[in-house]
Amino acid sequence: MDKLHVGKPVKGDQLIGREAEIKTMLNLLSQGQSIVIIAPRRFGKTSVILELLSRLKQRNNYTACIDVFTTPDLPSLSQKITEQVLNNKKLGKVFRKIRNNITEIIRNVELKQTIESFEFILKYASPDQDNWELLSESIDFIEAFPEKYNKEIVCAFDEFGDINKFNGDGLVKMIRSKIQLHDRATYIFSGSYESVMDSIFVKPNSPFFRFARIINLGYIEKNEFKKYLLNTLQSNKIAVSEKLINEILGFTKGHPYYTQLILQQIILNHSIGTKLQDITLKNILQQILIIENNFLEKQWEDISKSRELVQSLLVVIKQRESLYSVIDTKKINLGRALKKLSGKGIIYNEKGKYQLSDPLFELWIIENVIR
């Protein structure tokens, strides 16, 4: 049986759709144009980044990928950058192992040779290292390393919006001031919270204003997903009807994570002997509501702190003709609330109509709040 890919980023032939977007992004990157990928959580940002980097590697580009979300503090950030850059000479691992031990660094011939022109690396072994300085030098390293080997590098900062957890403004400005001068390095940023990304990349007074081309990642093309669902079910010898597949995609709209999760759940049901006629969208959705309950509850908790957001979100779900006609605009500033909800990635505007970006969250609200 083929492996299923729920939760972890997908790569290579597991990656469904996105071909047009990937081509565009590769094109921009090869022109030296940095990009920023914005989409809610679980829309496939990391998957796209990994795919881009893997194709760039095949073209002999240097690459680096730093996941800011899982980086706890400034020293780790600078270490990760250095390690990722060194990795292009397969030296990341050894750096990680011996970075605290100066004698080991000097003894390691390969590492020593490679870093001879990059003495800052020795500072990682110093007991009183200056974190800010090391970080600043690791950013310089992104440019200096490929320069030494006459290469180009594409460096990705996944979940870059999370950078604000370190030291806000100063850090982002320092990074910007350095990388705007980089010749050999082009950057991919990604982020889940539109409002955070706006304040870094989009607003005229933001530190990265006009630095990177903005790419909004949407749902995955339904036909692409349909082919994949049919194939996977067939190869698992599960004879679900095409009608069910259409219903699934009607529900998920091509949301990558939920479509994969539903598929996984169907296969699971089948393998424990659930009868085909009981494998319905309704039953599967009840199951994944349970699986995702913690995540959904947390999301609701966040919104329910504000009555204005709750009221507005409920109105969006109920989708009346005009949002303004059903809400008491004296009590609730709908425009402001909708902007906030979009900023959090909860809703998006499709041809003038607001929709929830997470179909399961919508169902959860209908079942737990509205009912």
Ligand X SMILES: Nc1ncnc2c1ncn2[C@@H]1O[C@H](COP(=O)(O)OP(=O)(O)O)[C@@H](O)[C@H]1O
Q: Which residues bind ligand X (CB under 6 A)?
A: 5-10, 15-18, 39, 41-47, 220, 256-257, 260
Q: Strand, helix or coil at 8?
A: coil
Q: Write each residue from 30 to 69 as x if it is in contact with Mg ion (CB under 5 A), else as -, in one continuous string.
A: ----------------x-----------------------
Which does residue 41 bind out of ligand X, Mg ion, none, counting CB within 5 to 8 angstroms by kind?
ligand X
Instruction: Give the Å distances, CA to CA, from 59 to 11, 26, 187, 309, 344.
Output: 17, 11, 16, 47, 36
Q: Which is nearer to ligand X, 10 or 163 (CB)?
A: 10
Helices within 236-358 (DSSP H only):
242-252, 256-271, 281-291, 293-304, 307-318, 323-326, 334-343
Is residue 342 classed exposed, middle or buried when 0-12, 13-18 and 19+ CB atoms within 10 A define those classes? middle
Q: Strand, helix or coil at 362?
A: helix
- Smallest gap from Cβ 116 to ligand X, in A, equals 37
- Smallest gap from Cβ 197 to ligand X, in A, equals 13
Write out the two tokens for 144. Answer: 């200096």
> For the chain, what is the radius of gyration of the CA atoms?
23
Which does residue 182 bind out of Mg ion, ligand X, none, counting CB within 5 to 8 angstroms by kind?
none
Q: Strand, helix or coil at 145?
A: helix
- Smallest gap from Cβ 42 to ligand X, in A, equals 4
Q: Which is nearer to ligand X, 141 or 187 (CB)?
A: 187
- Smallest gap from Cβ 107 to ligand X, in A, equals 39
Which does residue 43 bind out of ligand X, Mg ion, none, counting CB within 5 to 8 angstroms by kind?
ligand X
Q: Which is nearer to ligand X, 18 or 80 (CB)?
A: 18
The residue number with the shortest CB distance to ligand X is 44
- Smallest gap from Cβ 73 to Mg ion, in A, equals 20
Q: Please give the residue ranges that form the binding site for Mg ion (CB under 5 A).
A: 46
